[in-house]
Amino acid sequence: MKSHRKELWFETPGRRAFLNITPQVEAALQESGIREGLVLVNAMHITASVFINDDERGLHADYDAWLERLAPHEPVSAYRHNRTGEDNADAHMKRQVMGREVVVAVTEGKLDFGPWEQIFYGEFDGGRRKRALIKIIGE
């Protein structure tokens, strides 16, 4: 069995963003030479997420609004975590809801997706460099 590891780095200017990283994951798969196996993609920061869904702007706006209703950023004083000097308790909660990672099957050298599926990096506390890990295993 072979394995391949790659890091993707991000720095979003705003507090929240959804980035389609499918092309970067596909490129890493091609670099790996693996034809049958699994791809793991995970956020390496506890205020970011990796998830699979449709690449549709309205859906992303709906996610953003829904997450802000579930765990609003303001008032930052409403969260005990923020008493440590942080202001990102909401980002931790948003990550928990959206998930840490995805695993996708690799079949005949391609990501084995269902219709409309794409891989996204979700940022909930932007403004600094963060990364996601791609780990590919197989033959």
pLDDT band at 9 (very low <50, low <70, confident <90, very high): very high
pLDDT at 139: 98
**Domain range annotation of the chain:** 2-138
Q: How many CB atoms lie within 10 A of CB 119?
A: 25
Threshold 0.85, pTM exceeds: yes
Q: How many CB atoms lie within 10 A of CB 125?
A: 23
The tens digit of pLDDT for each residue in 24-56 reads: 999 999 999 999 999 999 999 999 999 999 999
For residue 51 the two structure tokens come to: 């998830």
Pairing of strands 101-107, 110-111: antiparallel
Residue 95: closest CA among 20, 12, 16, 23: 16
pLDDT at 93: 98
pLDDT at 31: 98
Topology adopted by domain 2-138: Jelly Rolls (2.60.120)
For residue 57 the two structure tokens come to: 């702007």
The tens digit of pLDDT for each residue in 68-113 reads: 999 999 999 999 999 999 999 999 999 999 999 999 999 999 999 9
Residues 6+ apart with CB under 8 A from 129: 9, 10, 11
Q: Is 95 helix (H, G, I), strand (E, B) or coil?
A: helix
